[in-house]
Amino acid sequence: MLLDKNADVHKCDKNEQSPLYVACVGGYSDIVKMLLEKNADVHECDKNEQSPLYVACLGGYKDIVEMLLETDAEVNKCDIHGKSPLQMAKTGGYKDIEEILLMKDADVTNCDIDESKE
């Protein structure tokens, strides 16, 4: 309903989290889809440089990961601690998401060097 009233899909909270980011954290596929249809920015990160793709990988939300990648989310964008979406999928044991990211050319040596050597 808010989107029908032209709510700002780019408006962030005090932690610099956009509506798309929050929907990805919660695994709300339908809301992610609606926000993407309203041109929400898939590259907009929170204050820790965690992208919507990063948190979707962390949560194991395969359907959301696929939606974000279809809209050209940066597969190799790391947070301020040098962690990538691929590392988050690996940490969570989400092999299906790891495979999707690798098919989109995720760099296994990107960012946190120690983590990528495991």
State the pLDDT at residue 39: 87
Sorted by where each begins, the domain ranges of the chain are 3-111
Per the listing, tokens 């098919």 go with 103
Element (H, E) at 64: helix 62-70
**94 contacts 66 by C-beta, under 8 angstroms:** no
**48 contacts 20 by C-beta, under 8 angstroms:** no
State the pLDDT at residue 10: 60
Topology of the domain covering 3-111? 1.25.40
State the pLDDT at residue 20: 92
Strands (DSSP E) found in 1-118:
none
Would you state the structure tokens that stand for residue 87, as one six-digit string? Answer: 């590392």
pLDDT tens series, the chain, 118 aa: 545 556 655 665 577 778 899 999 999 999 999 899 988 888 888 888 899 999 999 999 999 999 999 999 999 999 999 999 999 999 999 999 999 999 999 998 877 655 444 4
State the pLDDT at residue 109: 85
